[in-house]
A = this chain, B = another copy of it.
Amino acid sequence: MAGVTDRAHAEALDAADELAGFRTRFELGDERHVYLDGNSLGRLPLATRERLHAAIEQWGSELVSGWHDWIDLPLRAGDALAALLGARAGEVLATDSTTVNLYKLVCAALAARGAAGSALVTDRGNFPTDRYVLEGIAHARGSELRQFDADPVHGPVPENLAACRPGDIVVLSHAAYRSGALADMAALTAAAGERGATLIWDLSHSAGAVPVDLRGAGVELAVGCTYKHLNGGPGAPAYLYVAAERQAALRSPVWGWFGQSEQFAMERDYDPVPGIARFLAGTPPVLQLMAVEEGARLTAEAGMEAIRAKSVALTALIVELHDAWLAPLGFELGSPREPARRGAHVSLRHPRAWTFTQALIEQRVTPDFRGPDAIRLGPAPLYTSFADVWDALDRLRGIAARDDLPDAAPARVT
């Protein structure tokens, strides 16, 4: 039997992979290219290409009457997402960006609590836009922004919420963008709830690759993006989740005509629709919502359980090859070693990570880099083979073993 460092081992895993057939459902381009950045931007599903082409023609031929189909898209795409997130139909809405959706939910939660003294709480290592949203709202309200230091590898734990008080709003990511650590959603939600705080989850780095059980975990509010493991395309609309029981009490701060009851009876004051659609603001991006719906359908077809099983096996192979090949070359694992605590990507730390990233790209491997020292490898289960992972790690060890590799030029920071 082949050992983990033999390519035959990876090939055997591919031969037994029940999701292997999904690879051909995506545009693969150059087959020699190893793409391990589905955690930044997922690949183009072939069904989405067809759907977008049809959507363009629908615009061209149906014109304004196309709205008979488009008007419910944020709800329809939301329902398709809900099925992947442990939410019910009518609890998820696809619209706007993660940033705008988080802003809406934080403001809505604050207004519902009516607690002027509420603090906004997050992990200092949380994804930047989440922190910025909270910083902006705290600035506008003169509220306290409290950022705690979670374990950089394992992420936030209930003890990090010990200082929470009634009325506080906490924002955490389910999977950490840097380490990939998976937070214990149920335990953290309960810990916040026991202190009277409201916890809003950002699912951007987990949804579509890790099973999420929002209702099972007692979650009230969540947001997330669709262009990573949900393969919605560049800048695809994001989503928000509001538990059915909370919808009546919450109102978006952005009152817009798509959230208005009897939208086209225009001579009235604002009176939001009863359901999740009250969190709509302006006209939603119809074409890109169709891509969100297609991406969610494809994920549902594969099934979250099978996706997670393969994802764990893919990241386990990275960890094993790291231990065998890279640790002796000065690498350090920046992600949890226990599979249950890992999301769908693995962070490999090395002081020369930036230079190695550039060399990998030259060798037709796409990882991504998070400063100062992490190479992130996100093997999206629907289209990444075990051989892809083996090849990427093999090239990385070859690069890292060179003693003549010059430092890469610094990143252009936009």
Q: Name the residue in A49, A52, A103, A107 with the highest tally of chain B Cβ atoms < 10 Å from its Cβ.
A: A103
A43 touches B71 (CB 8 A): no
Nearest CB to that of A370 among chain B residues? Answer: B266
A349–B268 alpha-carbon span in the complex (Å):
20
Apart from A41-B67, A100-B282, what are 9 other A-B pairs with CB-CB below 8 Å?
A97-B283, A97-B284, A127-B257, A132-B256, A136-B254, A233-B286, A235-B285, A235-B287, A262-B414
Nearest-neighbour CB distance to chain B for A22, whole angstroms, equals 16
Query: Residues of B contacting A40 with CB < 8 Å?
Result: 64
Known contacts A41-B63, A103-B281, A111-B140, A235 near B366 by CB under 8 Å: no
Known contacts A100-B96, A238-B282, A254-B103, A43 near B27 by CB under 8 Å: no
Q: Which of B49, B253, B284, B366 contacts A136 (CB 8 A)?
A: B253
Flag whether A16 is at the interface (Cβ < 8 A).
no
Flag whether A255 is at the interface (Cβ < 8 A).
yes
A136–B137 alpha-carbon span in the complex (Å):
16
Q: Chain A 4-34, CB within 8 Å of chain B: the 1/0 string? A: 0000000000000000000000010100000
A244–B345 alpha-carbon span in the complex (Å):
42
- The stretch of A54-62, A85-93, A180-188, A336-344 in contact with B is A54-62
Known contacts A61-B29, A133-B256, A96 near B98 by CB under 8 Å: no
Nearest-neighbour CB distance to chain B for A94, whole angstroms, equals 12
A281–B104 alpha-carbon span in the complex (Å):
12
Shortest Cβ-Cβ A-B pairs, 4 listed: A97-B282, A136-B255, A99-B282, A99-B256
Q: Which of B258, B264, B286, B411 contacts A234 (CB 8 A)?
A: B286
Query: Residues of B contacting A269 with CB < 8 Å?
Result: 135
Flag whether A2 is at the interface (Cβ < 8 A).
no
Flag whether A335 is at the interface (Cβ < 8 A).
no
B63 touches A37 (CB 8 A): yes
A64 touches B233 (CB 8 A): no
Nearest-neighbour CB distance to chain B for A269, whole angstroms, equals 7
Q: Chain A 60-80, CB within 8 Å of chain B: the 1/0 string? A: 110111110011000000000
A27–B63 alpha-carbon span in the complex (Å):
10
Flag whether A222 is at the interface (Cβ < 8 A).
no
Q: Chain A 205-236, CB within 8 Å of chain B: the 1/0 string? A: 00000000000000000000101000001111
Q: Which of B61, B64, B233, B283 contacts A366 (CB 8 A)?
A: B64
Flag whether A288 is at the interface (Cβ < 8 A).
yes
B414 touches A286 (CB 8 A): no
A132 touches B29 (CB 8 A): no
Known contacts A63-B35, A97-B256, A225 near B287 by CB under 8 Å: no
